[in-house]
Amino acid sequence: PERKAGGGGDTPGTGRQSITRHPKRDSNPRPTRERDPARIARYSKTIFLHVGSLVDQASDSAWRCFSSVFGGINLMGGIVCLSPDSELFEVNHIRTIYHMFIALLILFILSTLVVDFIDEGRLVLDFDLLVYAFGQLPLVVSIWLCMFLSVLVVPYGLFHIWASHRQASHRRTLRSLLAGFLYLLYQGIGLGFLPTYLVLKNGLPPASRFIIILEQVRLMMKAHSFIRENVPRVLAAARDKNSKETNTSLVIPQVTQYLYFLFAPTLIYRDRYPRNPYIRWGYVATKFMQVLGCLFYAYYVFVRLCIPQFRSISLQLFDLRAMVLCIFNSILPGVLVLFLAFFAFLHCWLNAFAEMLRFADRMFYKDWWNSTSFANYYRTWNVVVHDWLYYYVYRDILWMSEKRFRAAAMLVVFTVSAVVHEYVLAICFGFFYPVLFCLFMCFGMMFNFILHDQRKGPIWNVIMWTSLFLGQGVLLCLYSQEWYAQRYCPLQEPSFLDLLKPRSWTCHQQTLPAEHID
């Protein structure tokens, strides 16, 4: 039967155009529906509110991400500023690259087992290198506990006494000078000299030295941040004559806030940080397992790619061919060690502690792998240390110079970073060989101005990666040569100049003695 079209051309209740078999009726013009201004206004308001809600969520998320740096408030919401790798690993293509590295680790393990089986006639699971590198752990724990307790008591105690009695004292300048002198004395001797002396006197192995020295540097930076952030607040409160609150309740942080800061994965002190409502213990366990996996990964890299090359290397004076081959053969293991150190510490270790402390700001690094300039690489490789250098070195120099010496401030930042890096390597390796310092101050400074932020495009990213790879090869080659030269040619009674002169420049021993095989 025919459908009854009616005059309007729409079937009531269906919302669809009716089908008609009368062409004459179809030729009639269709009546247009009048636009309801009130209905359009309601739709526009709904869309506007939805877009506004999205903008508010994005702004709130961004604010929470950076609140720890810009004086954030203790937030109990569940929004987390994730590390870039945490978001990238949600992409299947990036996760496949992670799986490729795991497959490479499996191949390293299999190749080591096969070679040991061929040489020894049996499967050998020997981790003597790890046992040697992390030797004397009870002594390491004891030194760390002493350092941590001293940092917990001395800086906070000095600041608390100084801030509490400053208003009532008639000799404020003298008290301030005395407190500052005691603090600097503690930083120089208590944290600076004593841990280094104990490390050298007890002959700790390299990995154990790294634990103590890196913790020494970290605690010194945290103590400085705590004093640097709170002293200006005390002085500002003292100048505020209209303040009716007491000095102590106004500016002195609680010891629990300072204790939280000592464990938090940040070097910038704040009274409060953005917090998450719960702890994902499965996530924490996964990150610590990944750290352990990176440790064994590095072990197999050294066993398969580094030790066989440098154990039998012929140390000759100014042998250009051997040096060039050594550098290029060291690029692959050097890059692997770089990736492992980055992933194990900046991603896994810091995220694990952030999760245990419900610390929501996870921006420990940015997408440094996309950098087209070394200036951007230095800012994004290690955001935790970069923020400390920016706030307490670069900005303070600009403040003291009234923003007149920006180039000098940048030079001081590079110098401080290079000196600290070289100090860590010199103490941990047991010799002074300023390769990293020279690369940092010479090529690093040069590339910082040549490959600046205005350089865009893929070619500059390729140049950055090429320079980074080559630098890793130079570092691994020269430091490994010097490590074995120290064992090839030991000095019985070295002078001070002998300690400063690289041993690999004059050592010509062709084979490594059996007692120094590691």
Question: What count of Cα atoms within 13 Å lies in the side-chain half-sphere of residue 199?
Answer: 27
For residue 472, give the nearest of 279, 333, 272 by alpha carbon.
333
8 A C-beta contact, residue 361 and residue 65? yes
**Is 50 one of the annotated active-site residues of the chain?**
no
8 A C-beta contact, residue 427 and residue 348? no
Residue 274: both structure tokens together: 């953005």
Measured at the CA of 285, the angle between CA 282 and CA 288, to 5 degrees, comes to 150
Looking up tokens 């308001």, which residue turns up? 45
How many angstroms separate the CA atoms of 457 and 181, rounded?
51
One-character DSSP codes across 132-176: HHT--HHHHHHHHHHHHHHHHHHHHHHHHHHHHHTTT-S-HHHHH
Residue 272: both structure tokens together: 């409060």
8 A C-beta contact, residue 226 and residue 156? yes
One-character DSSP codes across 392-438: IIIHHHHHHTTS--HHHHHHHHHHHHHHHHHHHHHHHHTS---HHHH
> Which position among 160, 224, 421, 452 bears the catalytic label?
421
Catalytic residues: 421
